[in-house]
Chain A
């Protein structure tokens, strides 16, 4: 998972229907870059049948010390 470039961000924002100029795209790239890098070790490693609702299953499991 690599951080998107300002050029890619500009394209994604256009598709989202909220166009941004080059300066804003650069600022966004700098701003969210660390999140992409921080999550890089997890991205692309999750098992096929893991779905978001698994969070609620873990949350409500009775766990104590």
Chain B
């Protein structure tokens, strides 16, 4: 058993508790100790609840002693992005407007994890209303990257990326509407799964864009993501958009070899204008996958810039519509950048919005035809490693949209197509910042992405490296 239980993976800690080699109290105390050490540097948590967490851990240990294990994650302490409704708890959504909002329901994704036995450490920071890719937050301060405290975590699941990387929680829920799981995963060196649109219920999760929002985990490995996905995926009467597609055994998929699988490398767009270190790490990742038995081929994708544009039209309108009442009544309570972006949606005609929605089917069909010969596509998550907090703190300046576009260039097309994408830690820059690659699959085929990700992680140790306190 590791001297510091918080350094175990989710899978390892769940097994250790189930086999009574470790108590839930020991696991929880270890996380709380690390939180106390790191929180002043990272600002990753919005709420820390040590007394409640330890009491829940003791209850979990007592239940297990009587033979009453709740599920696969019995007694495992977790914290999540503060946008998942948890009945009786304040859920700020990273905003001033919801600073005192107490949820009256519990989100389906969170409830399914609770049903598996997890306990709550507190809640994690996020970009205000999940509308921003950097991790800055006007109301609660920026979240810091544990690999370089002057650098961004990426957003909007900023606290999730930072806390998982620093081993403050074994995993965390994030959400991905334009890249908000994959970017923190990439910038913070953790594994993040953007699920297929409809794979996990969005009931009780704060909405941003009903056509694009997806729920997913950030964790320390593809195996941990597989475990969490299997617990959360599936139909939900509270969310008619949650698909009734079968839920396969994702954990079993991670054990399979990738020999004979074919992985596509885009010939353009995702390989253009890359920072040289990102380009190097992409090449090295491809080499590892080849060594593990995958066939690597080039793929010609349809124009991805059009997908980005369509995504922007849909996202802007739907976000503005959700926020319209507060845009009228409380505009002064938004941070400048979020207000600016919400105002953008006001200027898009209804016909343009619906054209962007109508094109989604043909655009997905064209993409699937282009990748017909491959099992997955590999691409960088972003063209650069984490910028500094200072250089990306653009607020509502004229440069803001350009910064946002540059960071989200490789993630938004996938949200528009509703496809799954797994971000995996793939290397480090010379200055010690992590870089992630995304594996993009077909709708509802998360299993093959987790299989490839797990094979890559068996061959590398990037996902096991732990940042040291500065």
A residues at B contact (CB < 8 Å): 1, 4, 8-9, 12-13, 16-18, 20, 24-25, 27-32, 34-39, 41-44, 46, 50-60, 63-65
* Given A16-B324, A36-B352, A38-B312, 13 additional A-B pairs, CB 8 A: A13-B346, A16-B346, A28-B346, A31-B344, A32-B347, A32-B348, A35-B348, A37-B309, A38-B308, A50-B361, A53-B361, A55-B357, A58-B364
- B443 CB within 8 Å of chain A: yes
| Residue numbers in A under 8 Å from B372 (CB-CB) | 63, 65
Chain A nearest Cβ from B29, distance in angstroms: 44
In whole angstroms, what is the CA distance A43 to B349 when docked? 12
Complex: chain A residue closest to B245, CB-CB? A60
In whole angstroms, what is the CA distance A64 to B373 when docked? 9
Chain A interface SS verdict (over half) = helix
B262→A65 contact, CB < 8 A: yes
| Residue numbers in A under 8 Å from B375 (CB-CB) | 65
Chain B interface SS verdict (over half) = helix
Contact of A55 among B346, B349, B355, B360 (CB under 8 A): B360
What would 25 A/B residue contacts be, using CB atoms closer than 8 Å? A16-B346, A27-B398, A28-B343, A28-B347, A29-B347, A30-B398, A31-B340, A31-B341, A31-B344, A32-B348, A34-B312, A35-B312, A37-B309, A38-B310, A39-B306, A39-B309, A44-B355, A53-B361, A55-B357, A55-B418, A58-B362, A58-B365, A59-B444, A63-B442, A63-B443
Given A16-B346, A18-B328, A58 and B352 touching (CB < 8 A)?
A: no
A39→B313 contact, CB < 8 A: yes
Given A50-B358, A50-B361, A55-B360, A12 and B396 touching (CB < 8 A)?
A: no
Give the contact-size bracket for chain B.
Answer: 35 or more
A12→B364 contact, CB < 8 A: no
- B354 CB within 8 Å of chain A: yes
Given A13-B346, A50-B358, A50-B362, A43 and B245 touching (CB < 8 A)?
A: no
List the 4 closest pairs (A to B, CB-CB), nearest first.
Answer: A38-B309, A54-B361, A35-B312, A55-B360
B361→A32 contact, CB < 8 A: no
| Residue numbers in A under 8 Å from B296 (CB-CB) | none
Q: Which of A20, A28, A59 has the most chain B CB atoms inside 10 A of its CB?
A: A59
| Residue numbers in B under 8 Å from A63 (CB-CB) | 368, 372, 442-443
In whole angstroms, what is the CA distance A39 to B346 when docked? 18
A12→B346 contact, CB < 8 A: yes
Complex: chain A residue closest to B323, CB-CB? A18
Given A27-B396, A54-B358, A65-B375, A59 and B310 touching (CB < 8 A)?
A: no
| Residue numbers in A under 8 Å from B341 (CB-CB) | 31
In whole angstroms, what is the CA distance A55 to B373 when docked? 21
In whole angstroms, what is the CA distance A29 to B343 when docked? 10
- B405 CB within 8 Å of chain A: yes
Given A13-B343, A31-B401, A54-B362, A38 and B443 touching (CB < 8 A)?
A: no
Chain A nearest Cβ from B87, distance in angstroms: 31
